[in-house]
A and B are shown apart, each in its own frame.
Chain A
Amino acid sequence: MKNTSFSYWAFLAPCLIAIFFSLVLPILIGVYYSFTKYNGFEVSEFVGLENYKKLISDTQFLDSLWFTTKFSVVSVVLINIIGLTLALLVTQKLGKINTIFRTIYFMPNLIGGIILGFIWQFIFLKVFKGIAEFTGLELFDGWLATPETGFWGLVILYIWQMSGYIMVIYISFLNNVPTELIEAASIDGANAWQRFWKVKFHLIAPAFTISLFLTLSNAFKIYDQNMALTNGGPFGKTEMATMNIYNTAFKVQQMGYAQAKAMVFLIIIAVISAIQLYITRKREVDL
């Protein structure tokens, strides 16, 4: 197919047009908005770097970035440990029950963030309170009322949602480990623990890179769960970066300023993705 032919452009046109209007043009206009005062209807003034200067000393925004980072790192580590454990569990030779386990662990991933957030709001507010009254354990009392319980509430929700997804990725890598290798290791006298750490662990290394960064950039971008579970409370202490951007744009109508925050957010995500790409490529070369 020549790139001057009609069919080449006809095949490409729908996606090109849609991507242009929904992504390319918004990014370009977004860069412009970030240098202006914009209220959603009209750009009243070009302010240069003013918005960017302002956000460096915006403690609420910086706190939200820090909260997001903390949330992402903690949940990424836990999700990968739990996801890998689940994957190792369902790749044991147990027969049909494996499919049932796998189906169950993956299920929360299909439910939207809004609904997940409300389910867990019920559990933390009502069920945990019930447990606290029943057992007298203070640990279960007053969830989502403090920044700490809000933080761990979000982490628990996200583990429940994402572990099954990461499990599926690890399963596909574990299934690609040649059985001859495992058998050879067994014959040489390696026990299950050694077989995992000395053989499988090395062969599924690419899965770590994929899973770590997939969960990391996804964790950075979550919004629905945050809104439905804590809505930033108490006192904005559990507000994540995305929610901060949204509120600046649509609650106080400072769209130009919100867009400057959005550009910083874009750069953070781009850096994370670039590091991921670099590491994946490097590993592929090393192999």
Chain B
Amino acid sequence: MKLKKRFKSFLVVLIGLLTSLIWIYPFYLVVVNSFKTKAEIFTNTLGLPKKLTLDNYPEAFKELDFIQSFTNSLLISIVSIFLLVVFSSMAAYALSRNRSKLSSFIYFSFAIVILVPFQSIMIPLISIFGKLDMLNRAGLIFMYLGLGSSLAIFLYYGALRSISTSLDEAAIIDGANRFQIYRYIIFPMLKPTTVTVIVLNAIWIWNDYLLPSLVINKEGMYTIPLKVFYFFGEYSKQWHLALAALVIAIIPVIIVYIFLQKYVIKGISEGAIK
């Protein structure tokens, strides 16, 4: 019986390992080929490099304008996510602490607009912000706040419902104002939801291509997905450079993921259940 059980878990681990290998294989192929010369990628795609070359990396790094595009991506993601967290939790707090018809209406409207697909508002969105002269990084961040906050409010609202209002009332008696209550009592209690909001929005905003391509399509403002896209257009037949560029673009994400994987997985699963 024990032997059978052992054999069973051995089999499960084996299946898991094989599946993991299949899952990693695409990454492996890209990494391995990025160390080959242009000619070798054509003659020897499947094997290990016969002669290891590092030349692809400096060139891809330069062509990607990596420092600048990375800084742009980081700046846009961090500012947008910060504003999303602060303003969505505040809005959800106000809605959860005021049980009027008006609040229900606002909450319901927020819940409805979560479902609107980006393509159906893309054209008017660009023309409105174009007329306001806001097709720039500030405009983009403002759009992320608008497009992302309905889901964030929805998540925060769900968490706030389980926080008793007696806490608020006690703090008011102690002389705290609404902002202080939110900042020092409520917001710290929302930490699990904040993790979810950060994770979901980080994956979305960091990787977003379409919206930035319409809003900040200018030299010096490119984010990593935009730069990777243009790079590919120009060097489509130069796989050695293109693959090195892909590796460079993926590395920051993988590093962050390895350190924060626990929070990422937790954030995703809590976001999905609600």
Interface set of A (CB-CB < 8 Å, partner B): 1-3, 7-8, 11-12, 14-16, 18-27, 29-30, 33, 40, 86, 89-90, 92-94, 97, 99-115, 118-120, 122-123, 126-127, 129-131, 134, 160, 164-165, 168-169, 171-173, 210, 214, 217, 220-221, 223-224, 228, 241-242, 245-246, 249-250, 255, 258-259, 262-263, 265-266, 269-270, 273
Residue on B nearest A221 in the bound complex, by CB: B117
Q: Is the CB of A171 within 8 A of B269?
A: yes
Residue on A nearest B243 in the bound complex, by CB: A122
Residue on A nearest B24 in the bound complex, by CB: A104
Q: How far is the CA of A259 from the CA of B229 in the complex (A)?
A: 25
Q: Is the CB of B229 within 8 A of A228?
A: yes
| Size band of the interface chain B makes with A | 35 or more
| Most chain A CB atoms below 10 A, which of B98, B106, B110 | B98
Q: How far is the CA of A229 from the CA of B15 in the complex (A)?
A: 29
Provide the residues of chain B in CB contact with A104, threshold 8 Å.
20, 23-24
Indicate whether A18 sits within 8 Å of B123 (C-beta atoms), given known contacts A11-B91, A106-B264.
no
Q: Is the CB of A1 within 8 A of B146?
A: no
Q: How many A-B residue pairs have CB under 8 A?
A: 261
Q: Is the CB of A126 within 8 A of B124?
A: no
Residue on A nearest B274 in the bound complex, by CB: A210
Residue on B nearest A14 in the bound complex, by CB: B87
Q: How far is the CA of A30 from the CA of B268 in the complex (A)?
A: 32
Q: Is the CB of A115 within 8 A of B272?
A: no
* Closest chain A CB from B192 CB (angstroms): 13
A93: contacting residue among B9, B90, B149, B268, CB under 8 A: B9
Q: How far is the CA of A33 from the CA of B229 in the complex (A)?
A: 30
Q: How far is the CA of A255 from the CA of B171 in the complex (A)?
A: 54
Q: Is the CB of A105 within 8 A of B19?
A: yes
Q: Is the CB of A221 within 8 A of B118?
A: yes
A265: contacting residue among B44, B120, B246, B269, CB under 8 A: B120
Q: Is the CB of A118 within 8 A of B9?
A: no
Indicate whether A15 sits within 8 Å of B102 (C-beta atoms), given known contacts A29-B124, A171-B269, A265-B120.
no
* Closest chain B CB from A116 CB (angstroms): 9
Q: Is the CB of A22 within 8 A of B143?
A: yes
Q: How far is the CA of A255 from the CA of B128 in the complex (A)?
A: 14
Q: How far is the CA of A181 from the CA of B264 in the complex (A)?
A: 30
B125: contacting residue among A22, A160, A164, CB under 8 A: A22
A129: contacting residue among B45, B90, B153, B243, CB under 8 A: B45
Q: Is the CB of A127 within 8 A of B46?
A: yes
Q: Is the CB of A110 within 8 A of B19?
A: no
Provide the residues of chain A in CB contact with B97, threshold 8 Å.
1
Q: Does B76 sit at the interface, judged by CB under 8 A?
A: no
Indicate whether A89 sits within 8 Å of B264 (C-beta atoms), given known contacts A8-B98, A29-B124.
no
Q: Is the CB of A8 within 8 A of B265?
A: no
Residue on B nearest A258 in the bound complex, by CB: B123
Contacting residues of chain B (96-152) with chain A, CB-CB under 8 angstroms: 97-98, 100, 102-103, 106, 110, 113, 115-125, 127-128, 142-143, 145-147, 149-150
The 7 A-B pairs at the shortest CB distance, nearest first, are namely A22-B146, A112-B207, A130-B45, A11-B94, A18-B146, A266-B120, A26-B121
Q: Is the CB of A119 within 8 A of B239?
A: no
Q: Is the CB of A273 within 8 A of B115?
A: yes
Q: Is the CB of B20 within 8 A of A172?
A: no
| Most chain A CB atoms below 10 A, which of B41, B119, B127, B246 | B119
Q: Does B209 sit at the interface, judged by CB under 8 A?
A: yes
Provide the residues of chain B in CB contact with A127, threshold 8 Å.
29, 45-46
Q: Is the CB of B106 within 8 A of A94?
A: no
B207: contacting residue among A23, A107, A111, CB under 8 A: A111
Q: Is the CB of B124 within 8 A of A30?
A: yes
Known: A27-B120, A246-B210, A255-B127. 18 other contacts (CB 8 A): A11-B90, A11-B91, A11-B94, A12-B90, A14-B145, A15-B90, A18-B143, A30-B121, A94-B9, A103-B257, A106-B265, A109-B203, A122-B33, A131-B46, A172-B272, A173-B273, A224-B210, A246-B119
Q: Is the CB of B150 within 8 A of A102?
A: no
Q: Mark B78-93, 1 if CB is under 8 A from A, else 0.
A: 0000010001101101
Q: Is the CB of B119 within 8 A of A223?
A: yes
Q: How far is the CA of A264 from the CA of B191 in the complex (A)?
A: 39
Residue on A nearest B9 in the bound complex, by CB: A94
Contacting residues of chain B (229-274) with chain A, CB-CB under 8 angstroms: 229, 232, 239, 242-243, 246, 249-250, 253-254, 257-258, 261, 264-265, 268-270, 272-273
Provide the residues of chain A in CB contact with B167, threshold 8 Å.
none
Residue on B nearest A31 in the bound complex, by CB: B124
